[in-house]
A = this chain, B = another copy of it.
Amino acid sequence: MTDDSKRLDQLCVNTIRMLAVDMVEKAKSGHPGLPLGAAPMAYVLWSRFLRHNPANPKWADRDRFILSAGHGSALLYALLFMAGYDLPLDALRNFRQWESPTPGHPEYGLTPGVEATTGPLGQGFAMGTGMAVAERFLADSFNKPDLKIVDHYTYALVSDGDLMEGVASEAASLAGTLGLGKLIYLYDDNGISIEGSTALAFTEDVSRRFQAYGWQVIRVADGNDLDSIETAINNARAEKDKPSLVMVKTHIGFGSPKEDSASAHGEPLGPEAVKATRENFGWPLEEAFHVPEEALEHARLALQRGREFEDDWTGLLDKYREEHPAEADRFVRQMKGELPEGWEKALPVFDAAAGGLATREASGKVLNALAGVLPNLLGGSADLAPSNKTYQNGFADIGSGQSGARNVHFGVREHAMGAMVNGMNLHGGVIPYGGTFLVFADYVRPSLRLAALMNVPSVFVFTHDSLGVGEDGPTHQPIEQVASLRAIPNFTVIRPAEANETAAAWKSAMESSGPVALILTRQKLPTLDEKKYGVAAGAARGAYVLADTEGTPDMLLMATGSEVSLVLEARERLLSHGVKARVVSMPSWEIFEAQDQAYRDTVIPPQVRTRLAVEAGSTMGWRRWVGDGGRVIGVDRFGASAPGSQVLANYGFTVDNVVQTALSLTGK
């Protein structure tokens, strides 16, 4: 490497640094410390390794890069701008301002080249693991000798905070188990967190820990030494059977008066310190957002390289298509997120049966029916597959080395599972899902929120959905979980009443652009007659009239899931009391809300004010459906350990109680 090219590299690094400093300074908020310290490793990765095409951020075989330490967003925006993504300098000037594509933390879908929404620590780490699983799955599915149309790395830049988070520990352990050799994380090891030195709370031997997980660990002693970083990344890429952690010793706030200080975190440097930093880097003292022309020109070579990368790959895909036309088509369709034509014909129709089956059982049957027509269905459970019914029978396990593998054993790691499912979606090409008990949706919650915020169609199978869990007791009986999930914006909750509604729920999930949670019972429920009740069509609209009366009903009985069969029975009994009740099955509030007002009014007529809702969970939120004249039979205290039918009965989930409550409401 010539002296001049070294000088140019350094100029680029400092441009990235100072752009970040200026962004934070102008916005009067943000984190200048990370960009100053981590710019060299980011620059080396982006300029010497990253196979991406800034002109086409969605190129299928690009390397993925995640800034898991999302608070350093200014670094990422500087990188994207320098590389030539559709992110002009003005966007950097508008850092953290209303409707700017440069929000405080990177947001997927808002900014070209941002692969994942990060900021909540540990999530990016775990999402990257999911991406690497997706990459390997697709490579195994499609690649042929000499025709590797799926062959890219997943990189992330991670911080102390990421490595302290449990979700990252979970993902790291699983990444090691799976031997994800194309996962390479650069650790910005700066020894400083918000409260001060990491020595206060984080003295563990990170290297040893990651080796214990089965990772290759490589150290870079000087985070400003570009060539050492290059060597380290080369070594990481050379290891095919293990993920790599490249531990890069850096100085937070490098080159500024706040170097190595916690105050470089989370606040602008301030005018004085900015000036000193400019001087230090030989930067013009007055000009904010200074971009040396030769630095930009050099960085923008990424555009040319990117075009070549993608052209080469397109040539490869063309060749692949010649030899394997059907698979090539399937690959392209999958990467677009398209489902194969007629897939929905695979959805089973369940015969009416009084004994019925648990909705988790029905879900398992639907999933296995879909497995036959959706070759990219990929997922599993957090060690509860036999209970969640999430296993695709007859297919091998990811990591087993067998072909056609598509079952993931996530281990007892609900949180990483959620983040990994999100990461698989972000990667694209697969239809990922994850399962656990509904009560443990709490463990997954930060990832559920991110799925909603990113609007990715992650499917979560949450079984054992109420007091009906029974003997396992209150630790395992969800109460507030369904309400809490409904509270998440842009998140669809579906609690089907029986087997055919369960099939409809899966259909909705497969067609959804955002995340969906399926809420399923442990216990058996009667299966309704699809022909008589039109369950599938009704459930597809979120709520529908399941059983009606002649003329205007005296009252509405509204329920979801296991309580629908209860109110159906109550309706019959109420008739003998002279009360004509309509039964509304309401598997999904969110889907129902998306229907037009006319439809909603035909299901819940505004003039029928006597309404009783029954759901074996928190009453929170139901008041809006039942109104002042209504009542809710729900649960606002914790459950109890006893056989499920007994617990349900003792908490008021009996036909008797529904009938008595309805009678008292109607005044009869």
Once the chains are docked, how many angstroms separate the CA of A103 from the CA of B629? 38
Residues of B within 8 A of A472 (CB): 29, 104-105, 119
| Complex partner residue of A202 from B411, B470, B489, CB under 8 angstroms | B411
Residues of B within 8 A of A456 (CB): none
Q: Give A86-104 as 1s and 0s: 1 = Cβ < 8 Å from B's Cβ atoms.
A: 0000000000111110011
- Which of A10-18, A33-41, A141-149, A618-626 lies at the interface with chain B? A618-626
Q: Is A193 in contact with B383, judged by CB distance below 8 angstroms?
A: yes
Q: Is A412 in contact with B620, judged by CB distance below 8 angstroms?
A: no
Would you mind naming 5 contact pairs between A and B with Cβ atoms under 8 Å apart? A117-B475, A166-B166, A176-B203, A206-B212, A480-B488
Q: Is B119 in contact with A476, judged by CB distance below 8 angstroms?
A: yes
Nearest-neighbor residue (CB-CB) of A24 within chain B: B471
Q: Is A416 in contact with B166, judged by CB distance below 8 angstroms?
A: yes
Nearest-neighbor residue (CB-CB) of A609 within chain B: B628
Q: Give A172-196 as 1s and 0s: 1 = Cβ < 8 Å from B's Cβ atoms.
A: 0110110000000000000001111
- Which of A277-285, A441-449, A595-603 lies at the interface with chain B? A441-449
Nearest-neighbor residue (CB-CB) of A267 within chain B: B386
- Looking at the assembled complex, report how far the CB atom of A202 sits from the nearest CB atom of chain B, in whole angstroms: 5
Q: Is A164 in contact with B170, judged by CB distance below 8 angstroms?
A: yes
Q: Give A627-642 as 1s and 0s: 1 = Cβ < 8 Å from B's Cβ atoms.
A: 1110000001110111
- The tally of residues in A whose CB lies under 8 Å from a CB in B reads 112
A45-77 contacts to B (CB < 8 Å): 70
Q: Is A384 in contact with B489, judged by CB distance below 8 angstroms?
A: no
A490 interfacial contact with B, CB 8 Å: yes
A586 interfacial contact with B, CB 8 Å: no
Once the chains are docked, how many angstroms separate the CA of A413 from the CA of B383? 23
A484-543 contacts to B (CB < 8 Å): 484, 486-490
| Complex partner residue of A480 from B470, B487, B638, CB under 8 angstroms | B487
Residues of B within 8 A of A4 (CB): none
Nearest-neighbor residue (CB-CB) of A162 within chain B: B412
A473 interfacial contact with B, CB 8 Å: yes
Once the chains are docked, how many angstroms separate the CA of A29 from the CA of B470? 10
Residues of B within 8 A of A643 (CB): 97-98
Closest 5 CB pairs of A and B: A166-B166, A103-B641, A201-B411, A208-B212, A169-B169
Q: Is B475 in contact with A480, judged by CB distance below 8 angstroms?
A: no
Q: Is B642 in contact with A415, judged by CB distance below 8 angstroms?
A: no
- Looking at the assembled complex, report how far the CB atom of A512 sits from the nearest CB atom of chain B, in whole angstroms: 17
- Looking at the assembled complex, report how far the CB atom of A558 sits from the nearest CB atom of chain B, in whole angstroms: 15
Residues of B within 8 A of A162 (CB): 412
- Looking at the assembled complex, report how far the CB atom of A247 sits from the nearest CB atom of chain B, in whole angstroms: 13
Once the chains are docked, how many angstroms separate the CA of A490 from the CA of B479? 12
- Looking at the assembled complex, report how far the CB atom of A127 sits from the nearest CB atom of chain B, in whole angstroms: 13
Q: Is A120 in contact with B439, judged by CB distance below 8 angstroms?
A: yes
- Looking at the assembled complex, report how far the CB atom of A24 sits from the nearest CB atom of chain B, in whole angstroms: 10
A152-174 contacts to B (CB < 8 Å): 160-162, 164-170, 173-174
A239 interfacial contact with B, CB 8 Å: no
Residues of B within 8 A of A160 (CB): 412
- Looking at the assembled complex, report how far the CB atom of A143 sits from the nearest CB atom of chain B, in whole angstroms: 25
A646 interfacial contact with B, CB 8 Å: yes
Q: Is B490 in contact with A487, judged by CB distance below 8 angstroms?
A: no
- Looking at the assembled complex, report how far the CB atom of A470 sits from the nearest CB atom of chain B, in whole angstroms: 7
A428-455 contacts to B (CB < 8 Å): 439-440, 442-443, 445-446, 449-450, 452-453
A386 with B618, Cβ < 8 A, contacts A167-B166, A412-B165, A623-B623 known: no
Residue picked from A200, A385, A475, most chain B C-beta under 10 Å: A475
A442 with B453, Cβ < 8 A, contacts A176-B203, A204-B213 known: no
A173 with B474, Cβ < 8 A, contacts A193-B411, A209-B209, A413-B165 known: no
Residues of B within 8 A of A167 (CB): 166
Q: Is B165 in contact with A170, judged by CB distance below 8 angstroms?
A: yes
Residues of B within 8 A of A227 (CB): none
A410 interfacial contact with B, CB 8 Å: yes
Once the chains are docked, how many angstroms separate the CA of A470 from the CA of B647? 45
Residues of B within 8 A of A650 (CB): 98
A105 with B170, Cβ < 8 A, contacts A212-B206, A409-B200, A413-B164 known: no
A27 interfacial contact with B, CB 8 Å: yes
Q: Is A195 in contact with B381, judged by CB distance below 8 angstroms?
A: yes
Once the chains are docked, how many angstroms separate the CA of A176 from the CA of B204? 7
Once the chains are docked, how many angstroms separate the CA of A194 from the CA of B464? 16
Residues of B within 8 A of A177 (CB): 201-204
Residues of B within 8 A of A416 (CB): 166
Once the chains are docked, how many angstroms separate the CA of A194 from the CA of B384? 6
A310 interfacial contact with B, CB 8 Å: no
Residue picked from A107, A161, A211, A620, most chain B C-beta under 10 Å: A620
Residues of B within 8 A of A200 (CB): 397, 399, 409, 411
- Looking at the assembled complex, report how far the CB atom of A451 sits from the nearest CB atom of chain B, in whole angstroms: 12
Once the chains are docked, how many angstroms separate the CA of A648 from the CA of B411? 42
Known contacts A121-B412, A165-B412, A489-B618; 19 further A-B pairs (Cβ under 8 A): A29-B470, A96-B473, A96-B642, A98-B642, A107-B641, A118-B475, A173-B204, A176-B204, A177-B201, A177-B203, A194-B383, A200-B409, A205-B213, A206-B212, A209-B209, A440-B446, A453-B474, A487-B620, A620-B621
